[in-house]
A and B are shown apart, each in its own frame.
Chain A
């Protein structure tokens, strides 16, 4: 049982409404991609789903149990959250940081068990970080660092995975790697995965369902075909696009239409 549900989730900050009555149901084994322009509230929504933020009203529940009833530790056993940023000023090594993903399981003092060590090693392998284990985190590039905190979220071994921009700053190869791995894990281990992404075409390829945030609320949720339409994209991102079929995969493929004269290229006249 690992469904994640939000009901009329409302969040405001300094008397400003940021998210207005968001209701979402996420099922086990499904990858939901959150889309929206900068400042639309994607990160806020993810953080609200794991009780990083206090809701103004509404509720979030895991397997029908309100998340405010969980202790922090029990919640961390159920939901792993990969933040977009965190403090990088420490002399911890990659192995140290990934190991800390086991904290919800071993608590404050229990030493790591053989099982813990196995999970840590699997997570390091899955993110291609085996050779980086002893590297200090201050010496990592942006992409390596992101893979490390993904590895830590994997080591947390929770049935619900919330990933905030897991592909930002990664090379194309690692973007595919990460999304592919996350998707396969969602299917194999029957996880709920919620990801925020900027790339609409990645969303179409890797998401089972897409949720589009704009003007503080969800303006669309459904398959890529239902959500990635020129009119919804114009409404959410204020850009003109055309949507074609991917020549190989057949999924919807969003092609931007650049404003006339902005690129120095002429418009093809078919």
Chain B
């Protein structure tokens, strides 16, 4: 048992922290749109070799990257490119990468800008190059870009040899859990700072015990979800991945409610940054069928019903 990162991972954490610092402090407040992409972040991460992190530092390294990026107020496809694809495909795929449960006709996250897609087909997984695929971009309020492609014929896409749908699900779940953990972290941090400074009834909101307790509970959920995610990355066990995703998706629902509750009306505006994480968490909450479906799948695997 050792619950500390090794020196390589500590160095990775510090490197990411340094590289991403300037994007953390530059919240575009006042004129904020719901969707905030920033190609410069992807470029600087790619230039520094972070998208290849899985090969050098394993799933744990990739999860650290996903978590760090998810803390930012910008959306960026990194989970599929830095974790899922390297785990499943020996050939590098053109990024960004969209993940699909089988039909590109349903709204799919990151599809408009994606270079390729990894998708379930029966018990197989196919990797599809999307150049030449006519993607209909959807206007989404939910932080991510969504698109669909009704005409896509996935049967022409090559099957990844020896890769099962279970494996796709497993690494997708871990990436998803890491995204949720990062986003929850930022939403909680923002809210804790807010209630420390916001005064009502002649005292800081954060001095009210009801607020302290509920944000402390959110903190417990965050720490628990984070540890389950890193455990799943470490073990490579499908059930660990499913449990981490189940836990994180449940936690996301609670954290969204509480962080908004303590912000009051300002949290509902697009002029205040909370929505960057809210919108993502609300979308991630239902990915892959949501917590109940993941849980049911985990239970079937754990207890072979």
User: Do A and B actually bind?
Assistant: no
Residues of B participating in the A interface, judged by any CB pair closer than 8 Å = none
